[in-house]
């Protein structure tokens, strides 16, 4: 690993609890290795804070290899920072010139309340999945692979959608804090395959109803979500979601409405 | 609520209303523009005044015009409500530092602002020409022995003033930007996305967004200069 190090000025959002008033605090970082990931740089900051007897910065992280979607940070005005197609854990300090001032803020969306500092409650996404992001029909034992023929193009389409890691960067980037890209990926990954097809429009309706009840905005087709998505989920999935939704609303012979799932009390992180 | 109102008030339903009314207004823009070009006929306004009379008195056109008012009203009311609710979805705290230009176009992020400019123009336009034509006292002109309201005179007087011409042209620029994003966006909203046709829709939208506003703007400019 390179021995080169750089210095930075960090402007980090600090908020002691969900109902506390937050503010941007400034920290000076010295001798950060250019090989360090952005999260490792934050580990270094927290060591520094602990050594000074200060409260370390709370931030979400888990896999540190771009697959869990936890590392939500709005860095220098963009979700997951300046590079495209990556998460924060995949962002490296060599991207930032020496002496740079770096702003780090939590995802900003009404349905993603701040729990502490940079951590936000993304339970709204779980409830959207709970509303229909699964196959409920019993598909029985695994069949012989050649029994259900799926063209390569369709399989690719489903796999592209299934790459979504539920990070919420799409919501963070969208000027309307809309969750349409996430919902569309979760609808698409099942809608194009035989096991998921039979429930696809009902699923779209229920997941959208949950998305709306959580307070996410509507889609203006700005494309900010797709540009910032670490998995580069395409806007075509949003068009499919719209189609599935309309098909369900106007053709399905059923008027029963989905009752949105309430946020459980025990998940209220308020102080 | 009935299934229909639940559909139309969902986030996708509200966007469907925007897309359908938006595209409907696009067809209106073509018809209105064709009419406007008669201002340039160079016949002292005979053709234009006869056309204006036809448009305000022929029963079928009158019936269609109510559909148009409804389309405008729906697009505007729904637009204003979307601006408000989309803004609220961000929450109490906004970003201290944000760089949206890195991930999306200015036009796509400014549909609300552009819509508001068009709305201001629309209000002024309705008061100045439509309101006068329908409810005001108009100068009269005799064509083939029959008295007609002289809308041509009203328009050509207005377009002698640089302020009106300037505001008119500026509003058309805003309309152009609104359509630059809006045209193809409406198709995406309606779920009409296809690898073979979407590139065509996109290009047609860009063409429409340039040609139609220029068509409108060129008329007051020519009338001002001549
Ligand atoms: C002749 C005039 C107009 C035309 C042809 C027009 C056309 C369109 C079209 C095609 C769209 C795209 C719909 C979509 O994304 O699905 C749109 C969106 C929009 N329009 Fe208009 N429009 C006009 C006037 C106005 C006015 C007066 C307002 C005033 C509030 C307005 C506000 C909006 C807003 C806010 C959106 C974006 C909605 C969203 O996606 O969040 N428009 N318009
Ligand atoms: S669509 Fe992309 S940005 Fe949105 S949650 Fe999924 S992976 Fe993250
Ligand atoms: S920590 Fe898992 S994706 Fe970044």
Tell me which residue in A109, A178, A239 faces B193 most closely, judged by beta carbons. A239
The reported pLDDT for the residue numbered A254 is 84
Contact by Cβ (8 Å): A2, A31: no
Computed over every residue of chain B, the mean pLDDT equals 95
3-state secondary structure of A62: coil
* Residue of A109, A182, A189, A228 best suited for mutating to test ligand 2, as the one with most atoms within 8 Å of CB: A182
pTM: 0.95
> What is the C-alpha to C-alpha distance for residues B224 and B169, in angstroms, rounded to an integer?
12
Q: How far is the first Cα of chain A from the last one, in angstroms, to the nearest whole number?
A: 43
Mean pLDDT over B142-159 rounds to 92
The reported pLDDT for the residue numbered A138 is: 78
User: What pLDDT is attached to residue A267?
Assistant: 61
Q: For residue B134, report the phi and psi dihedrals to the nearest 5 degrees.
A: -85, -40
| Chain A nearest C-alpha distance from B132 (Å) | 36
d(CA A164, CA B69): 43
CA distance B12 to B8: 8
Q: Whose CA is nearest to atom 7 of ligand 1?
A: B22
Which ligand gives the minimal distance to the CA of A67?
A: 3
Q: Using a 6 Å cutoff on CB, does residue A128 contact ligand 2?
A: no
Mind telling me how many Å the CA of B66 is from chain A's nearest CA?
26
Average pLDDT of the segment spanning B118-144 = 91
The pLDDT of residue B136: 87
pLDDT for the residue A266: 65
- Evaluate if residue B133 carries a pLDDT over 90: no
B202 CB-side CA count, 13 A: 8
Task: Assess contact for A205 and A62: CB atoms under 8 A.
Answer: no
Q: Does A221 touch chain B (CB under 8 A)?
A: yes
State the distance from the centre of ligand 1 to the C-alpha of B57, rounded, in angstroms: 29
> How many angstroms separate the CA atoms of A223 and A234, rounded?
9
- Please give the domain boundaries of chain A with CATH numbers for all domains: 5-115 (3.10.20.30), 123-268 (1.10.1060.10)
What confidence tens digit (pLDDT) does each residue in B25-83 have?
A: 999 999 999 999 999 998 989 999 999 999 999 999 999 999 999 999 999 999 999 99
Which of B13, B91, B188 is opposite residue A110, by nearest beta carbon? B91
Mean pLDDT by 10 residues, chain A (271 residues): 85 94 97 97 98 97 97 98 97 97 98 96 97 87 84 96 98 98 98 90 94 98 98 98 95 90 73 41
CA angle A38, A234, A226 (to 5 degrees): 40
Q: How buried is residue B122: exposed, middle or buried, by Cβ count under 10 Å (0-12/13-18/19+)?
A: middle
Residues 30-69 of A with CB under 8 A from B: none
Longest dimension (CA), chain B: 69
A208: left (phi over 0), alpha (psi -120 to 50) or beta: alpha
Q: Does residue A62's CB lie within 6 angstroms of at least one atom of ligand 3? A: yes
Which residue, among B86, B107, B180, B184, would best test binding to A if mutated, counting the most A CBs under 10 Å from its CB?
A: B86
Distance B122 CA to ligand 1 centre (A): 13
Chain A partners within 8 Å of B177 (Cβ): none
pLDDT band, very low/low/confident/very high, at B155 (cuts 50, 70, 90): very high
Q: Which ligand is nearest to the CA of A68?
A: 3
As given in the structure block, the two tokens for residue B162 are 């640089």
Please, what is the Cα angle at B87 between B85 and B93, to 5 degrees?
Answer: 130
Model pLDDT, residue A243:
96
Please count the other Cβ atoms lying within 10 Å of the Cβ belonging to residue A7: 12
The Cα of B181 is separated from the nearest Cα of chain A by a number of Å equal to 8
Range name among A9-13, B52-56, B167-171, B205-209 with the lowest pLDDT average: B52-56
Number of C-beta neighbours around residue A45 at 10 A: 21
Chain B residue numbers touching A217 (CB-CB < 8 A): 11, 85-86, 88-90
* Binary contact (A255, B100; C-beta < 8 A): no
């Amino acid at each position: 690993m390179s021995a080169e190090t750089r210095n930075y000025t960090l402007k980090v959002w600090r908020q002691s609890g969900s109902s506390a008033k937050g503010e941007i605090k400034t920290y000076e970082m010295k001798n950060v290795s250019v090989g360090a990931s952005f999260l490792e740089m934050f580990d270094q900051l927290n060591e520094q804070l602990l050594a000074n007897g200060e409260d370390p910065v709370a931030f979400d992280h888990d896999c540190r290899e771009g697959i869990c979607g936890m590392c939500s940070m709005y860095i220098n005005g963009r979700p997951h920072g300046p590079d495209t197609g990556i998460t924060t854990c995949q962002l490296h300090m060599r991207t930032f010139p020496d002496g740079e001032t770096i702003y780090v803020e939590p995802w900003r969306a009404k349905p993603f309340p701040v729990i502490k500092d940079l951590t936000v409650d993304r339970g709204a996404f779980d409830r959207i999945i709970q509303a229909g992001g699964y196959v409920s029909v019993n598909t029985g034992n695994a069949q012989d692979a050649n029994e259900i023929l799926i063209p390569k193009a369709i399989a690719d389409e489903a796999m592209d959608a299934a790459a979504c890691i539920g990070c919420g960067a799409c919501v963070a980037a969208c000027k309307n804090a809309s969750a349409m890209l996430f919902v569309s990926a979760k609808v698409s990954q099942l809608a194009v395959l035989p096991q998921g097809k039979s429930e696809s429009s009902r699923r779209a309706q229920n997941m959208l109803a949950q998305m709306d009840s959580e307070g996410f905005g509507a889609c203006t087709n700005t494309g900010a979500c797709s540009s910032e998505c670490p998995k580069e989920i395409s806007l075509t999935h949003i068009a499919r979601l719209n189609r599935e939704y309309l098909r369900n609303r106007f053709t399905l012979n059923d008027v029963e409405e989905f009752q949105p799932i309430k946020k459980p009390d025990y998940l209220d992180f308020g102080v | 609520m009935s299934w229909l109102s639940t559909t139309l008030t969902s986030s996708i339903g509200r966007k469907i209303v925007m897309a359908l009314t938006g595209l409907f207004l696009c067809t209106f823009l073509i018809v209105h523009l064709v009419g406007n070009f008669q201002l340039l006929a160079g016949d002292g306004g005979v053709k234009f005044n006869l056309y204006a009379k036809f448009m305000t008195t022929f029963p079928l056109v009158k019936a269609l015009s109510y559909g148009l008012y409804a389309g405008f009203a729906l697009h505007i009311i729904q637009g204003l409500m979307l601006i408000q609710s989309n803004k609220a979805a961000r929450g109490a705290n906004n970003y201290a530092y944000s760089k949206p230009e890195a991930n999306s176009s200015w036009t796509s992020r400014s549909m609300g602002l552009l819509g508001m400019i068009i709305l201001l123009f629309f209000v002024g336009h309705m008061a100045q020409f439509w309101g006068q034509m329908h409810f005001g006292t108009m100068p009269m002109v005799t064509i083939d022995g029959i008295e007609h309201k002289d809308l041509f005179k009203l328009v050509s007087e207005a377009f002698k003033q640089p302020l009106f011409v300037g505001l008119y042209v500026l509003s058309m620029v805003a309309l152009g930007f609104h359509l630059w994003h809006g045209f193809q966006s409406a198709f995406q909203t309606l779920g009409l996305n296809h690898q073979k046709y979407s590139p065509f829709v996109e290009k047609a939208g860009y063409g429409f967004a340039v040609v139609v506003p220029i068509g409108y703007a060129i008329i007051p400019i020519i009338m001002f200069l001549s």
